[in-house]
Structure 1
């Protein structure tokens, strides 16, 4: 050891260089990690979810598909137009009885034609199909709107849950610091002969328990971030830090709006209810589509073309096509259904059954929506009371802890009794943080179940 000390004393520059070599990479790495750290606010999370949520993208794709179906129904009123061009070459032999000779001949032919057909009347089937597809397109748009609302609410709920997990980390850190401070006091008391070794060991055990609580809170926070990014439809980047909004400020604004006074009869705002009503109208139009099979259909067609044959001795290629062989024909076709093996009748009855099912689905949806709104109102009122009770609990638990710590220092309280009071204070801290976030989410849930997200988005701006 003496040789080692003389070695370091005789090389001060070398020691400084070694220290610099170890410290510099650590500092440089810390600087890089600080630069790579990402932050995420609740407004950014909402924007990302609106762009990249997988379920929402699929819903928007359905809207695009419905738009194409509606456009196709509009274009079914247009006439179709087709053109054809065919050519052939024939090799055959001909016999001349006058000369009693057989000769080979080659014939080249070309046919060109254009045809068009337009539906004049098909029992109003095309008109009903157009109305049906337009209604279904609008219904899909409303369903996508409700899907967007659901994604936004899920994002907000999970974001606030992750913020709550982050708040629990702060509570656990504060508890760990208080336990460490208490250990220092107990060790000082033991040195003075006022505390036993058992108190010191028990306090160290409580510190280990507090460290476990901190690790669990940190794990829950990281798990919450993973669940949040799953909703966002994005792979979570490393070192992402959730920026906590001012929950107290949000609660002040929310409670000032008094959402508990909103009536539950607001189903007309729900996009999913509106979508179901449009689907019922579309199902009724499908009945008319199927009834069109009872009616006759009328169509108009026109055809035109020309041909060329090389063996034709009258005129060349252009004369035959343009002057000698052109033709045009036009006609009206009427088709009257007489017996279709009851296909039309069965189709109409099946469509009417679908209308009945849609009506039942609407009733089930409206009942469910009314229940959700009433339950959200009840949950919010309960959350208000729970928050007030948790606030009082935290206040009294904090005062009890301060008194108990004073009594323990003067020896009028045992360690076990002090530990029980501290545990109650920790529980009260958890409960108060939980009730704050719960009240915020329950208040927003009222607007969500009513189908009105504007108050929520305005609150979070």
Structure 2
């Protein structure tokens, strides 16, 4: 009850965050936490892990003896066998039987033990796949968050470009109205303003799309209009300390995706042993109790005797005399249901051996199929290792390239900013023309955009490398 109340309060707080006009900026940590709670792909992975857990627990329970009871009650008409006397009857009767059977497997080629181990490996692999899904989700949320910050920075620069152009356009408009300015400069600046405003529209759209992508990962339908907090790491542009080989070593030791493949391989090995148990005889012990009831069963009570002719004759002095005998008279009393069940109770114990002699090559084919699955698991693991190494090498090269471009572009931005400052002064004083001014301005703006992209690309590649190392990134 307390856990449910806490959950309700947390959800209420989340909705309150989006409903307030003056909200606090959404943080990366909040986005990750929300995604881990709401993402449908992650929930699907957890359900698969729960299924594996049930399979594992069931395989353990299969070692226990089985105990089953049966009970039948029926009505028979016409010629039938009396279950009480095993004699033929031609009457309507009610019959019933009940049984209890205990069966325990003593040996079956270690099939059940290997099945337990196989399902345990599958459970561990499923748990690792849940962790893999969590790591993938954290990575995707982080990259989406970084993309939002990058697009926000580009939008900010686009607006700054437009403001600068609008100020120049106002100055040229005044000169144009006074008749002292060059009309071509004014129209060229109008064209530049249109380009800058178009860039603002594109940047706004890119920002909205990146926000939408993030909230899709968070499984939130309505995208709120909210701010996003900056990351401290954006100010720390230190060179990555590890090599690609060190990242690969960490990945092989810690990455959940690779561990899951290893566990699937271990499970496939046990699967071959389970299939081979089909060649080995199975030994089990059993015990059972059985009883029955019939409405035709009755007790015969002696009520007297009578003399009756047997149908035979004895000849004495040429005269035939009938042979008589004394016959005891009986009266039948029905036997109660409970008495019959007690009187007819029987038991049996024994040992059963099931020897597989020929089963249509089923055992051999099962072993062959499991060997194929084993080889597929080996190939899958090796392919994962190969793809992982290639991805790490590519991410590492992209990270180094982004880091080097960032430092080169830092100097370029400073140079173009100084060039623009000089050209702006010259243009305002009528020393240089509009072409030189716009060229200088575009060079500075493009350099700033490239610098922002390089910075965010570097941080993105660092996050990817941390993911491969198996770090939580939260």
Q: Normalization by structure 2: what TM-score?
A: 0.81
- Closer, same or farther: CA 256–201 of 1 in aligned 2, 3 Å: closer
Residue 240, structure 1, aligned to residue 225, structure 2 = yes
Residue 83, structure 1, aligned to residue 69, structure 2 = yes
SS of 1:85 mapped into structure 2: strand
- Closer, same or farther: CA 121–33 of 1 in aligned 2, 3 Å: closer
Superposed displacement of residue 257, structure 1: 6.6
Residue 393, structure 1, aligned to residue 412, structure 2 = yes
Could you say which residue in structure 2 is the equivalent of 1:217? 203
Residue 265, structure 1, aligned to residue 249, structure 2 = yes
Residue 70, structure 1, aligned to residue 90, structure 2 = no
In the TM superposition, 1:369-380 aligns within 5 A as: 369-380=388-399
Which stretch shifts more, 442-451 or 402-411?
442-451
Alignment partners' CA distance in 2, 1:256 and 1:75: 55
Superposed displacement of residue 263, structure 1: 4.6
Could you say which residue in structure 1 is the equivalent of 2:215? 229
Alignment partners' CA distance in 1, 2:235 and 2:242: 12
In the TM superposition, 1:59-458 aligns within 5 A as: 59-91=45-77, 106-191=92-177, 193-237=179-223, 239-246=224-231, 249-253=232-236, 255=238, 258-260=241-243, 262-266=246-250, 267-314=252-299, 315-322=335-342, 324-453=343-472, 456-457=473-474
Could you say which residue in structure 2 is the equivalent of 1:7? none
Alignment partners' CA distance in 1, 2:140 and 2:374: 32
Alignment partners' CA distance in 2, 1:161 and 1:376: 17
Superposed displacement of residue 329, structure 1: 1.4
Contact persistence 2:265–2:374 (CA under 8 A):
yes
- Closer, same or farther: CA 278–290 of 1 in aligned 2, 3 Å: same
Contact persistence 1:260–1:380 (CA under 8 A):
no
SS of 2:441 mapped into structure 1: helix
SS of 2:21 mapped into structure 1: helix
- Closer, same or farther: CA 331–242 of 1 in aligned 2, 3 Å: farther
- Closer, same or farther: CA 134–33 of 1 in aligned 2, 3 Å: closer
Which stretch shifts more, 339-348 or 128-137?
339-348
Superposed displacement of residue 138, structure 1: 0.6
Which stretch shifts more, 79-88 or 392-401?
79-88
Contact persistence 1:297–1:334 (CA under 8 A):
yes
Superposed displacement of residue 119, structure 1: 1.5
Alignment partners' CA distance in 2, 1:73 and 1:362: 26
Instruction: Indicate the RMSD between aligned Cα atoms, in angstroms.
Output: 2.4
- Closer, same or farther: CA 141–254 of 1 in aligned 2, 3 Å: farther
Contact persistence 2:240–2:462 (CA under 8 A):
no
SS of 1:84 mapped into structure 2: strand
Which of structures 1 and 2 has the bigger CA Rg? 2
Alignment partners' CA distance in 2, 1:88 and 1:64: 43
Greater helix proportion: 1
Which stretch shifts more, 224-233 or 338-347?
338-347
Q: Gaps spanning 5+ residues in structure 2: where?
A: 1-17, 81-88, 300-334
SS of 1:245 mapped into structure 2: coil
Contact persistence 2:247–2:468 (CA under 8 A):
no
Superposed displacement of residue 308, structure 1: 2.3
Alignment partners' CA distance in 2, 1:130 and 1:424: 67
Q: How many residues end up aligned between the 2 structures?
A: 412
Contact persistence 1:128–1:286 (CA under 8 A):
yes
Superposed displacement of residue 130, structure 1: 0.8
Superposed displacement of residue 134, structure 1: 0.6
